[in-house]
Amino acid sequence: MLLFTSLIVLFGVVRTDEPLRPQYHLMPVKNWLNDPNGPVYFNGYYHMFFQYNPNAAVWGDMHWAHSYSKDMVHWIHLPIALAPDQPYDTNGIFTGSITIVDGIPIIIYTGITHDNQQVQCQAQPANISDPTLTTWIKSPLNPLITYPNGRDPSTAFQDNEKNYYLIYGYGTDELGGQAVLFISKDFSNWTYLHPIHSNRYDKFWECPDIFNITNRVVLKASLLGRDFWTIGDIDPNQLIFIPIDHDLGEFVQLIDHGKFYASKTFYDPMNDQQIIMGWTSEDDNLGPQRGWQGFHTLPRAIFLSEDGLELRSRPIEALRTLRDSQSHRHFNDIILPRELPFQLIPNVNGNQIEIEINWQFPMNQNLDFGLIVLSTPDGTQRTNVGITSRNNTTVMMNWDLPGWDYLSVPNISESSGCQLSCNRDNRCQAWTFVKDQQINKNCFLKSGVPFLISNLDCVSGVKQRENNEQIIWVYMNRTLSQKNPNAAHGPIHAPVWLEATSTNNQWFLQLDIFVDHSVIEIFEPQQGRFAITGRVYPEEDNANNLAVYVNNASSNNENIIVNTIDIWNLNTIWA
């Protein structure tokens, strides 16, 4: 049996091929440029290693920079940990992880050679008694692994015979994206075994992690520009990972529904929880002009749903220490009128804030309403964090669900045939039938539930669940978020299944929203059913107000209500 709990799951840096010289998350000062991607816990401190270009806010000359913390929230800068100064890493120090081996934290990372080959290398602290682990020494045996030509080694794990196992990302034309598996007795001499898992949703996987939560094995990886998870088992004889249900690359398996990539996970022994952190790249063209590129997302605790079949996440409890208690504002029992294009929340503003809001709204109605952040007083520049629902999502005439297609079903002449094809396919979560297209190119099955868009040429539907749940969409509308035509303006969304209640035919939904200048992170904290990360770049200095809106209200005169809303300004993370 493989024992994922036999090692503290620790890791170092994450990123591979995008430009990085970013501003640290939740920091208003813009002159420190780095990309943290997860802490390592050792001897009472969390250590954050991250890819960093010390010379420019563009891709190139990648080092590993370093910060440390006592609580994973407040950080102190340390000198650069690793520089590309050897023939095996002269073209860059790429993603890696840390594993505790006989009480010593050992970095294993991808080095890029002079001829751009990807090789796996090691380093360890020069002084294990130094609590800051400031100085690191590369192994004289480097490079330790030279084949296959992949990258992003994950934290190692062990079996009952004390063998170490290591995975990293790879891909081939034959098998598609892969996590390849290695074995070692001493953590220095590694033998390649085979892909532990692969599929053809993408040609290459980045940043794979494998870990244990509540006695279930979770595999995650970065592909298709997103981060996916799958839950399964490892065959102890063949040493391959077998998904229980859905697989990496299916959009029902997203870790975050927004701008979130190259995440890494680790076990936090102080709070007995698995932590995940991701990287959110810029969504405009002005990174070099600003002097930084990319953020690290907030640390999130990840856990399983009650049935053990879904990965969930929420912000770690320690983030509450960032709240400025004197800035706290509370409102409750706000009944929104049926027509409300825009209404400011009085005497509240900020661009580095946290908002907890509890919505109450009628079931089975066509609704569209929400909260506005980073808004000018007149609403001409703003970002909507909204909720939309339909009275019936089984068959929706004149609506499209664009994207996330995995199959075009042949020989379909009516929308009912498309619906039937979806219901018969375990992968299918939703479908769209295009009425004016020829047979064989008119029925599209989707591995997730995209955001609905009005389209007279389409009929769409969502595969219904048997336990009387109803789907809604939580979204971020960025149409008016910025004027820059080279910034992203498209919506970001997450589908959410709500359970029926007996309370006045109403739905209840809590959102925890973090706004940090150009980064917005949205969570459903009670059950951790989704996370959304988005980037916006308001140009107006006074785009720091909050407001509410109602685009579509209930047809039965039932109210949309803000049960409670709590707002805090957030302090800096820098200790």
- Give 409's strand partners: none
Q: Are residues 380 and 476 in the same domain?
A: yes
Q: Are residues 415 and 555 in the same domain?
A: no
Q: Are residues 486 and 528 in the same domain?
A: yes
Task: Give the pairing type, strands 367-375 and 226-235.
Answer: unpaired
Percent over 70 (pLDDT), the chain: 93
Structure tokens at 479: 């149409």
Residue 14 has pLDDT above 70, yes or no: no
Is 436 an active-site residue?
no
What was the pLDDT predicted at 367? 97
- Say whether 432 sits in a helix, a strand or coil: strand
Domain membership of residue 336 (yes or no) is yes
Domain membership of residue 269 (yes or no) is no
Structure tokens at 119: 């090789």
In tens, the pLDDT along 441-471 reads: 999 999 999 999 999 999 999 999 988 889 9
Q: Are residues 60 and 78 in the same domain?
A: yes
Question: How far is CA 134 from its chain centroid?
Answer: 29
DSSP one-letter code for 574: B
Domain membership of residue 295 (yes or no) is no
Q: Are residues 379 and 491 in the same domain?
A: yes
Question: What integer is the mean pLDDT of 127-154?
Answer: 96
Structure tokens at 555: 């047809």
Question: What integer is the mean pLDDT of 9-18?
Answer: 30
DSSP one-letter string for 234-262: EETTTTEEEESS--TT-GGGBS-SSS-EE
Distance of alpha carbon 209 from alpha carbon 204, whole angstroms: 14
- Say whether 464 sits in a helix, a strand or coil: coil
Instruction: Read off the pLDDT band of 439 (50, 70, 90).
Output: confident
Q: Are residues 45 and 132 in the same domain?
A: yes
Domain membership of residue 301 (yes or no) is no
pTM: predicted TM-score of the whole model, two decimal places: 0.93
Task: Give the pairing type, strands 492-498 and 506-516.
Answer: unpaired
> Cα–Cα distances in Å, from 552 out to 155, 338, 368, 378, 386?
48, 8, 5, 21, 11
Q: Kindly give the residue spans of alpha helices, DSSP state H, lying in 273-410.
A: 287-290
Domain membership of residue 501 (yes or no) is yes
Instruction: Read off the pLDDT band of 7 (50, 70, 90).
Output: very low
Percent over 90 (pLDDT), the chain: 84
Q: Are residues 40 and 111 in the same domain?
A: yes
Looking up residue 515, the CATH number of its domain turns out to be 2.60.120.560
The residue range of the domain holding 119 is 31-146
> 70's torsion region: left (phi>0), alpha (psi -120 to 50) or beta?
alpha
In tens, the pLDDT along 156-169 reads: 999 889 999 999 99
Q: Are residues 540 and 439 in the same domain?
A: no
Residue in 17, 35, 173, 256 annotated catalytic: 35
In tens, the pLDDT along 38-75 reads: 467 898 999 989 888 998 888 889 999 999 999 999 99
Among the candidates 113, 130, 146, a domain finishes at 146
Residue 290 has pLDDT above 80, yes or no: yes
Distance of alpha carbon 221 from alpha carbon 177, whole angstroms: 10
What was the pLDDT predicted at 575? 81
Q: Which residue has the tokens 């809604």?
A: 472
Give the angle subtended at the CA of 534 by the CAs of 349 and 52, to the nearest 5°. 105
Looking up residue 438, the CATH number of its domain turns out to be 3.50.4.10
Q: Are residues 445 and 501 in the same domain?
A: no
What was the pLDDT predicted at 502? 62
Among the candidates 120, 146, 172, a domain finishes at 146
Looking up residue 58, the CATH number of its domain turns out to be 2.115.10.20
Question: What integer is the mean pLDDT of 426-447?
Answer: 94
In tens, the pLDDT along 232-260 reads: 999 999 999 999 999 999 999 999 999 99
Q: Are residues 453 and 376 in the same domain?
A: no
Q: Are residues 493 and 437 in the same domain?
A: no
Q: Are residues 372 and 427 in the same domain?
A: no
Strand order in the sheet with 93-101: 9-11, 93-101, 104-112, 118-125, 136-138
What was the pLDDT predicted at 3? 32
Distance of alpha carbon 290 from alpha carbon 293, whole angstroms: 8
- Give 449's strand partners: none
Domain membership of residue 195 (yes or no) is no
Domain membership of residue 452 (yes or no) is yes
Query: What total number of domains does the chain contain?
Result: 3
What was the pLDDT predicted at 36? 32
Residue 33 has pLDDT above 70, yes or no: no
In tens, the pLDDT along 74-104 reads: 999 999 999 999 999 999 999 999 999 999 9
**Comparing 501 with 172, which gets the higher pLDDT?**
172
| C-alpha distance across the termini of the chain, in Å | 43
What was the pLDDT predicted at 451? 98
What was the pLDDT predicted at 6? 26
> Cα–Cα distances in Å, from 234 out to 160, 239, 244, 285, 305?
14, 6, 11, 43, 20
Computed over every residue of the chain, the mean pLDDT equals: 91
Structure tokens at 85: 């100064």
What was the pLDDT predicted at 39? 60
Domain membership of residue 203 (yes or no) is no
Among the candidates 462, 478, 498, a domain finishes at 462
